[in-house]
Structure 1
Amino acid sequence: MLTLTENAQTVVDDLAARADLPEGGGLRISQSTTQPGGLELALTRGPQTSDRVIETGTTPVFVEPAASEQLDQLTLDTAASSAPGGDPAFVLAPQQD
């Protein structure tokens, strides 16, 4: 199952707070509908009925079943933005044992 680093969870929590998501809202990861093999991340009011829910902080992460297999054994982390003052970017890395 996908895991999140502390940095990634902090960024997810910050994004959710800035978007003023309601209780139960979170970040949803799904397969891209426009780029084969790609992923889409979006803030949403809640999970779809079949989503896996990852709760490691204040804001949950919802993972679409089709993306869940692709993300198995990976960790969501952040990387510094290349733009001055820009938000960090999300990156995927293999899980560390």
Structure 2
Amino acid sequence: MLTLTENATLVIKSITGVEGAPEGAGVRISQENPADPALAVTTTESPAKGDQILEEAGARVFLEPNAAAALDDKILDAAVDDKGGVEFLLVPQPGAGVH
């Protein structure tokens, strides 16, 4: 299952915890086509039907089924640049793929 770094948790909480955001808002990661590695990241009020819900230290991530499968052995990290832009990074979990 996808895991979050402390940075990712803080960034997600900061972008979903803005004034006026509904309780339970989160970041949704989706992948339209399993053959295409492109992922879409959006903020949303609630998960879509079928989404896998990951909650860590108050940060909520909703994973569309294709994205959940693609990110099963990954760690989500995040950084904020000097202009306030958010960048998400994916790295393999230690030992991922070793059986």
TM-score using structure 2 length: 0.82
2:7–2:79 Cα contact (<8 Å) kept: no
- Counterpart of 2:60 in structure 1: which amino acid? P
Runs of 4+ in 1 over 3 A off after TM superposition: none
The residue number in structure 2 matching 1:93 is 91
Runs (5+) with no aligned partner, structure 1? none
1:44: which partner in 2? 44
User: CA contact under 8 A between 2:52 and 2:62: conserved in structure 1?
Assistant: yes
Counterpart amino acid of residue 87 in structure 2: A
Q: Percent identity?
A: 40
- Matching of residues 7-86 of structure 1 within 5 Å: 7-18=7-18, 20-32=20-32, 36-79=36-79, 81=81, 84-86=82-84
1:5-24 CA distances to partner (integer Å, 9 max, x unpaired)? Answer: 01100000000123632112
User: 1 CA distance for matches of 2:76 and 2:12?
Assistant: 10
Q: Contact conserved, 1:52 with 1:65, CA < 8 A, in 2?
A: yes
Relative to structure 1, the CA distance from residue 19 to residue 87 in structure 2 (aligned partners, 3 Å threshold; closer, same or farther) is farther
State the number of aligned residues: 93
- When the two chains are superposed, the root-mean-square deviation of aligned CA atoms in Å is 1.8
- Calculate the TM-score normalised by the size of structure 1: 0.84
